[in-house]
Structure formats: structure tokens, C-alpha cells
């Protein structure tokens, strides 16, 4: 209780820093959710807020920005984003992440003093879904926007390694030790959840992060054409999963036809060569169908596949 009261006495100081164009990064042993929520209730009650739960395995930065861009011209007082929200995705899925970021930037970079501010609350900015370079790069772009203020927490001992000097400069962190010794009840509630892991695999958040890391490691060693082939396979699998309860594998014939149309391969032999590395690493399964043809599928959960599609291989 004394620790909590001590941190509450710093709230006005924290608010001053945020209004002075700095961002707050809270670290220390114990959950910091309660102290952050208390700060929001006390100092940001009438402010626009967006809350990201970085510990939620289904969270992707693109879906979060997509929802944000959707509501940016009709701001809600408080929006909490856990993961993908399909009803928003349906109408804006065609927009790229950069386009959505530009929408947000134009809105919050206005010189009009009466323009609204937005406070971005990120519980566990070091969470597995937000550790990718693409996610941190997008958050850096948001940190550059003058009317967006970030309050984030970290718990992993190696979390600072996610930021090089350039990212640290853009984030403009003011580090505060907010040791609470509170239980990580909410942060660990999704660990090992069968509802959030890939079908039958029981990966959980940590396993999903390892799966993504391994997938990126393999993909980086391949040619852009090989990655293009794999991207087509992933996109088909995600579309099938969204549209039907029973997911159908992708026939080799259809994959070859699409790859030829996009000038990724010029023969079936070339396509098989591109797939070999993924098959060898058990990232693609091939099986015979009832018609005797070959069918392909990716044995990874949708969240991992979506995060892979967001990764920028040109950075």
C-alpha cells in the first residue's frame, strides 16, 4: 500500500513529462497494470485513450492500427484492443499499415491547439506479439507524432535490447522504477491457452513467439521469390480459415498457377525447389488428396502467420 501511495504521488509529475513531449516507460518487479489504470483514472479521465494489451497472444500491431485508423475521425473515449477485431478488418483490410499510419499522423500532427491528444497505454510493450522489428518500428512512428503520448510497461529483463539508439531517440523514454511486487495474474492468464494456440499444438504465447522467430530465420535465408511463394500459401490458408469452418489445403496445381501469374516461378521444378526449405523445416506439409493430387498446408496458428505477413524483409 505504501509503494502504491508513493507512486500515486508522482502522477502529476508523470503528466507533466507526457505534456512535455516525453513518453513514460515503467519497469520493476511486479505487475504494473493497477498503477497504470489508477493513473488513467486519475489524470486521463477525460482524455482519449487507446489501451494495448501486449501480453495477449492474438494481438497484432497492424490490426490495432487498423482499428485505430477506423475510429480516428470519431474518437471513442477509451478503446481497448486485445487482438484482431474482424468487423473492422472486413471494411479496411485492403489498406496497408503505412496508409493507416498516415491517416493517424495527419490527424494528430495538426498545428491547431484545439486538436485532441491521444494517450497510448501499452501493457507489456515487450510482450511476444510486439517484439518484432515491424511492431516496434510502427510504435516508433506513433511516438514521433506530437499529439500522441505513450505510457508503457516492460517486464522482460532483456526488453531494452529491442531498441537501438535510433529507436530510443524516437521513443524519448523517461524510465521509472515502479516495483510493485504484485502478481502477474492478467499478464499470465493466456499462457498455454489451448484456445489461443495452434490447433492441437498447445503452443501458448511463448511457443508462438518461438515459432515466429524460427519461421523468420528460415525465410530470411531464402530468395524473395521463395518468400513470395510462401506468402501466397499463407494468404490462401488465412482466407480459407476466415470463410469456412473446415479449412481446405491448397492444391499444388493452384499454387503453381498463381505463382506463374505473378512471375515467381517458370516451372513446377522451380516451385518444388522453393518449397523444399519450408518442407524440410516442417513449415509446410504436403499430402496426397483423394484425387491423387498434392495438397499443401502451413501447420502454424493464424496469429503467427499474420505476424509473419506484417514483417518487413527490406528493413
Mean pLDDT of all residues belonging to the chain: 80
Q: How confident is the model at residue 201 (pLDDT cuts 50, 70, 90)?
A: very low
Alpha helical stretches, state H, the chain: 2-8, 11-19, 33-43, 61-71, 86-92, 97-108, 133-143, 165-171, 204-220, 224-243, 252-261, 268-280, 302-310
CATH architecture for residues 2-177 = 3-Layer(aba) Sandwich (3.40)
Asked if 99 contacts 72 with a C-beta cutoff of 8 angstroms, the reply is no
More confident residue, 281 or 180: 180
Q: Model pTM?
A: 0.60
Integer Cα distance of 48 and 131 in angstroms: 25
SS3 content of the chain, % helix, strand, coil (to 5): 50, 15, 40
CA separation (Å) from 4 to 8, 11, 115, 178? Answer: 6, 11, 33, 9
* pLDDT exceeds 90 at position 70: no
Integer Cα distance of 252 and 302 in angstroms: 21
265 is written with which cell numbers?
516461378
Number of neighbouring beta carbons within 10 Å of residue 77: 10
Domain boundaries, the chain: 2-177, 204-310
pLDDT tens, residue by residue, 101-118: 777 787 788 776 666 888
Per-residue model confidence (pLDDT) at position 81: 47
pLDDT tens, residue by residue, 214-248: 788 788 888 889 999 999 999 998 887 655 544 56
Per-residue model confidence (pLDDT) at position 280: 80
Residues 6+ apart with CB under 8 A from 190: 55, 56, 57, 196, 204, 205
Q: What b/e readout covers 278-304, taking b as 16+ CB neighbours within 10 angstroms? A: beeeebbeeeeeeeeebbbbbebbbbb
Q: Kindly report the length of the chain.
A: 315
* pLDDT exceeds 90 at position 197: no
The partner residues of 78 in beta bridges, in order of sequence, read 49
* pLDDT exceeds 80 at position 203: no
Same fold, 2-177 and 204-310: no
Q: How confident is the model at residue 311 (pLDDT cuts 50, 70, 90)?
A: confident
pLDDT over 70 for what percent of the chain? Answer: 78
* pLDDT exceeds 60 at position 193: no
Question: What DSSP letter does each residue of 200-217 carry, written as one string?
Answer: TT--HHHHHHHHHHHHHH
Q: Looking at the domain 204-310, which fold is it?
A: Arc Repressor Mutant, subunit A (1.10.10)
CA separation (Å) from 33 to 123, 156, 183, 246, 249? Answer: 7, 15, 10, 39, 42
Integer Cα distance of 109 and 115 in angstroms: 9
The arrangement of strands across the sheet holding 148-153 comes to: 78-81, 48-53, 118-123, 148-153, 23-27, 173-177
Per-residue model confidence (pLDDT) at position 72: 59
Q: How confident is the model at residue 76 (pLDDT cuts 50, 70, 90)?
A: very low
Integer Cα distance of 141 and 123 in angstroms: 18
pLDDT tens, residue by residue, 30-42: 999 999 999 999 9
Number of neighbouring beta carbons within 10 Å of residue 108: 18
Average pLDDT over residues 137-146: 90
Per-residue model confidence (pLDDT) at position 20: 94
Average pLDDT over residues 180-184: 91
Per-residue model confidence (pLDDT) at position 116: 81
Amino acid at each position: 500500500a505504501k509503494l502504491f501511495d508513493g507512486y500515486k504521488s508522482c502522477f502529476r509529475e508523470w503528466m507533466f513529462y507526457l505534456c512535455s513531449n516525453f513518453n513514460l516507460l515503467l519497469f520493476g518487479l511486479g505487475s504494473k497494470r493497477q498503477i497504470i489504470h489508477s493513473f488513467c483514472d486519475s489524470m486521463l479521465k477525460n482524455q482519449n485513450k487507446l489501451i494495448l494489451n501486449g501480453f495477449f497472444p492474438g494481438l497484432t500491431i497492424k490490426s490495432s492500427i487498423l482499428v485505430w485508423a477506423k475510429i480516428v475521425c470519431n474518437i471513442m473515449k477509451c478503446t481497448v484492443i486485445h487482438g484482431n477485431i474482424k468487423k473492422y478488418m472486413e471494411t479496411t483490410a485492403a489498406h496497408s499499415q503505412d496508409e493507416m499510419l498516415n491517416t493517424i499522423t495527419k490527424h494528430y500532427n495538426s498545428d491547431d491547439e484545439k486538436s485532441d491528444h491521444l494517450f497510448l497505454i501499452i501493457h507489456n510493450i515487450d510482450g511476444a506479439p510486439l517484439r518484432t522489428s515491424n511492431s516496434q518500428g510502427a510504435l516508433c512512428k506513433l511516438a514521433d507524432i506530437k499529439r500522441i503520448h505513450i505510457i508503457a510497461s516492460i517486464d522482460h529483463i532483456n526488453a531494452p535490447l529491442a531498441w537501438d539508439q535510433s529507436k530510443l531517440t524516437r521513443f524519448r523514454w523517461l524510465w521509472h522504477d515502479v516495483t510493485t511486487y504484485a502478481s502477474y495474474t492478467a499478464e499470465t492468464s493466456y499462457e498455454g491457452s489451448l484456445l489461443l494456440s495452434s490447433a492441437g499444438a498447445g503452443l501458448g504465447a511463448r511457443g508462438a513467439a518461438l515459432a515466429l522467430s524460427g519461421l523468420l530465420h528460415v525465410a530470411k535465408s531464402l530468395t524473395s521469390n521463395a518468400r513470395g511463394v510462401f506468402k501466397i500459401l499463407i494468404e490462401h490458408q488465412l482466407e480459407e480459415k476466415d470463410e469456412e469452418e473446415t479449412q481446405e489445403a491448397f492444391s499444388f496445381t493452384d499454387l503453381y498457377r498463381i505463382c506463374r501469374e505473378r512471375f515467381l516461378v517458370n516451372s513446377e521444378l522451380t516451385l518444388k525447389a522453393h518449397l523444399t526449405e519450408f518442407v524440410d523445416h516442417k513449415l509446410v506439409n504436403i499430402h496426397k488428396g483423394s484425387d491423387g493430387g498434392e495438397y499443401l498446408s502451413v501447420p502454424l496458428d493464424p496469429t503467427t502467420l499474420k505476424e509473419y505477413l506484417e514483417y518487413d524483409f527490406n528493413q
